Structure 1
Amino acid sequence: MAALRRWLFAGLLVLAPLAITLWVLQWIVGTLDQTLLILPEAWQPQRLTGYRIPGLGVLLALAILLLVGAITSNFIGRKLVDWGDAILKRIPVVRSIYSSVKQVSDTLFSPSGNAFRTAVLLEWPRQGVWTIGLITGAPGGDVINHLREDFVSVYVPTTPNPTGGYFVMLRRSDCIELKMSVDEALRYVISMGVVVPSAPVLPNSR
């Protein structure tokens, strides 16, 4: 029985990551394949070939992203984007949703932004208990009028789902910057501490 149990866990360790990876890829491909619905019915690949070809939606989505990126990279394209932004910001309800989403996306995906670039060690949720957080920026608005010291905005991801978490503002002196990438920090959190990042090599340890 001990051998059977050992073989069972060994099989799970091999097949579980593979099965989850295939499931995630299937979900991504299936979601992006919905992009084909924007094509006219006469141009639908399933109608032309007589059967469904998985993955064509992924290629179409990539082509659209590249096309939009190429168009908006020049002066005329940026003017068109600004014109579209101005129109959307004049529409009630749409204005508030679009503005919020755009601010978040500009912060996250801007090459010059600092959001989610640094992993830190902090005491959370109480003194003596430590966890990992990601610096998202600095407090702003009226908040800075009430925080007299140097504070940073930190996102504390939860385990095993890092998309749910807590937003806190902490003194910079209370955050210990870690010598690990954000990807390593997220893997550490998602794995509940099982996947340990490699320790950095200190200069005096050589």
Structure 2
Amino acid sequence: MSASPAPGPSLGQRLQRLFLTGLLTLLPLWLTWVVVKFLFVLLGDLGKPLVEPALHGIAQRNPQTFGWLVEPWVLNAIALVATLLVILLAGWLARRVIGQTLLRWFEAMVARIPLASTIYGSARKLLDILQTKPDGTQRVVLVDFPHTEMKSIGFVTRVIREAGTGRELAAVYVPTTPNPTSGYLEIVPVEKITPTDWTVDQAMSFIISGGAVAPDTIPFSPPQRDAGNSTG
């Protein structure tokens, strides 16, 4: 008498497999949509004050022909295009003498406003730091979080010293996934950070993609330091 065949997966198991397969298929698309939507909404909101009054004026003068200009999706699309054009224009001007002169004039004007000068100056310094190579300390590092067996990607913004002991401390900005513009700041002893050979672009791709886009290797443990090199 032949043995009966093993029973196949149940309906619930098949549905579970299909669900997981579909989830893993759609997750990268969803992540891309979240990041792109965030950028488009942000850029569109920036451009609305530039185009909304003009579009409303055109629509009011000839509502039958141009009434569609004040539809929300049309308004958002035109605002997005306007913002992109302004960004491209700013980039073009920044490479010209007249643009650099205007930027210095704007920075001088902002410097007279107490709160605005602090925010603008801090943001300007952070962007300048991330675009240049650091002296003596690798820019992209790993820091312990939430414990020593787990790490987070961070950017060293500067190295300071502890009062009294003179020990080197690194100010590390740790961005969050998938929006690297939000994050937190940690002050970490230099000997506790793990330097990497990643560029800022590679680190940003790693963060935004949730770890899916990354080089094949990365150091995990801090480098060993000689006892004679430690600060007393």
SS of the aligned residue for 1:199 comes to coil
What TM-score do you get using the length of structure 2 for normalisation? 0.61
Alignment of 1:131-150 (within 5 A): 131-140=151-160, 143=161, 146=164, 148-150=166-168
- The aligned residue for residue 113 of structure 2 is 91
Instruction: Tell me which moved more, 55-64 or 42-51.
Output: 42-51
* Aligned 8 A contact 2:44 2:79 in 1: yes
Q: Distance in 1 between matches of 2:176 and 2:36?
A: 23
Q: 1:120 aligns with which of 141, 145, 149?
A: 141
Whether 1:182 and 2:203 are equivalent positions in the alignment is yes
Unaligned residue ranges in structure 2 (runs of 5+)? 1-11, 60-65, 219-232
Q: Distance in 2 between matches of 1:58 and 1:160?
A: 21
What one-letter code is carried by the residue in structure 1 that aligns with 2:140? A
* Aligned 8 A contact 1:120 1:176 in 2: yes
Whether 1:168 and 2:190 are equivalent positions in the alignment is no
* Aligned 8 A contact 2:157 2:173 in 1: no
Q: Distance in 2 between matches of 1:68 and 1:187?
A: 25
Across the aligned residues of Structure 1 and Structure 2, the Cα RMSD in angstroms comes to 3.7
Q: Distance in 1 between matches of 2:27 and 2:83?
A: 29
Unaligned residue ranges in structure 1 (runs of 5+)? 202-206
Q: Decide which structure has the larger Cα Rg and report it.
A: 2
SS of the aligned residue for 2:104 comes to helix
Please identify runs of 4+ aligned residues in structure 1 that moved more than 6 A: none
SS of the aligned residue for 1:93 comes to helix
Whether 1:74 and 2:96 are equivalent positions in the alignment is yes
- The aligned residue for residue 204 of structure 1 is none
How many pairs does the alignment contain?
190
SS of the aligned residue for 1:154 comes to strand
What one-letter code is carried by the residue in structure 1 that aligns with 2:149? V
Query: Residues 91-114 of structure 1: CA distance to partner in whole angstroms, max 9, x if unpaired?
Result: 343333333333334334xx3354
Q: Distance in 2 between matches of 1:28 and 1:160?
A: 12
**Structure 1 residues 170 and 135: CA distance shift in structure 2, 3 A:** farther
